[in-house]
Amino acid sequence: MKEKLTVVTSTCVPLPLENVDTDQIIPARFLKATTKEGFGDNLFRDWRYNKDGNPNPDFVLNQNTYKGEILVAGKNFGSGSSREHAAWAIGGYGFRIIVSSFFADIFKNNSMNNGLLPVVVSPEFLAEAFETITADPSVTLTVNLPDQTITNNATQRTEHFDINAYKKDCLINGLDDIDYLLSNKSKIEEYEKSL
């Protein structure tokens, strides 16, 4: 069972860069673990820490200004490598929602398989979110998964977001695909007989 996800209202961490690839989210040299724990410590490692290992004060995660369970990122977030470690790193750090105008496919699946919800918003919603959050870091967004809506509480701009019914159900109830697939095993055996 994964943690259930329904409605989240939170302040946000803005990352207005485009094409953030999974090598930036978690560099390859940190992929050598055999468990899923601890990846949050190295989230955005090479942006977050200088070469000498000290925190880079210019990077958003090192600024006390921005905190929260929602990461707001530029378009095409999570491109590149299929490493699920990227989702483990973001979830491990404490984020539950990622908001962007565009996500890479494999990253999107990996996130949802780990109780981390990628919310696709319009470029206008995203631009406004960056603007309001940087003007006032106490601004919150509300993501309502059952209703499939996201609201910028500073401006009351609300948008509907898409998610398929199956994945929505999994996230709300903390279920995963294996639970479902195992319950459907007789169909797999039937299919194999037809080959």
Partner 1 sequence: MSKTLFEKIWEKHVVDTLPDGTIQLYIDRLYCHEVTSPQAFAGLRSRGLKPFRPDKITCMPDHNIPTLGQERPIEDPISKKQVDTLEENAKLFGLTYYGMNHPKNGIIHVVGPENGLTQPGMTLVCGDSHTSTHGAMGAIAFGIGTSEVEMTLATQCIMQRKPKTMRIVVDGKLKPGVTAKDIALYIISKMTTGGATGYFVEYAGEAIRNTTMEERLTICNLSIEMGARGGMIAPDEVTFEYLKGREYSPKGKDWDEAVAGWKALCTDEDAVFDKEVLFHAEDIEPMVTYGTNPGMGMGIKDSIPAMESIDEAGRISYKKSLDYMGFNAGEPIQGKSIDYVFLGSCTNGRIEDFRAFASIVKGRKKADNVVVWLVPGSWAVEKQLKEEGIDKILEDAGFQLRQPGCSACLAMNDDKVPAGKYAVSTSNRNFEGRQGPGARTILAGPLVAAAAAVTGVITDPRELMN
> Is residue 101 within 8 Å of residue 51, measured between CB atoms?
no
Structure tokens at 158: 């609300």
- Determine if 28 is a binding residue for partner 1 (CB under 8 A): yes
CA 66 – CA 162 distance, rounded (Å)? 27
- Contact residue for partner 1 among 9, 10, 40, 46 (CB under 8 A): 46
- Determine if 131 is a binding residue for partner 1 (CB under 8 A): no
- Determine if 35 is a binding residue for partner 1 (CB under 8 A): yes
With respect to partner 1, which residue has the nearer C-beta, 49 or 93? 49
Q: Among candidates 70, 79, 156, 155, which has minimal Cα distance to 119?
A: 70
- Contact residue for partner 1 among 9, 10, 56, 113 (CB under 8 A): 113
With respect to partner 1, which residue has the nearer C-beta, 107 or 151? 107
With respect to partner 1, which residue has the nearer C-beta, 18 or 136? 18
Q: Among candidates 127, 132, 134, 135, which has minimal Cα distance to 153?
A: 132
Residue with tokens 């509300």: 142
Find the shortest distance in angstroms from Cβ 126 to partner 1.
9
Interface of this chain with partner 1, residues 52 to 71, rule: CB under 8 A: none
- Determine if 136 is a binding residue for partner 1 (CB under 8 A): no
**What number of chain residues touch partner 1 (CB under 8 A)?**
56
Structure tokens at 7: 């409605």
- Determine if 175 is a binding residue for partner 1 (CB under 8 A): no
- Contact residue for partner 1 among 55, 123, 146, 174 (CB under 8 A): 123
- Contact residue for partner 1 among 54, 135, 160, 191 (CB under 8 A): 191
- Give the amino acid at 190: E
Residue by residue, what is the 3-state secondary structure of 20-87?
CEHHHHCCHHHCCCCCCCCHHHHCCHHHHECCCCCECCCCHHHCCCCCCCEEEECCCECECCCCCHHH
Partners of residue 144 on adjacent β-strands: 7, 149
Judged by the rule CB under 8 A, the positions of this chain that interact with partner 1 are 16-19, 21, 23-24, 27-29, 31-36, 46, 51, 74-76, 79-85, 87, 102-106, 109-110, 113-114, 123, 127, 164-167, 176-178, 180-182, 184-185, 187-188, 191-192
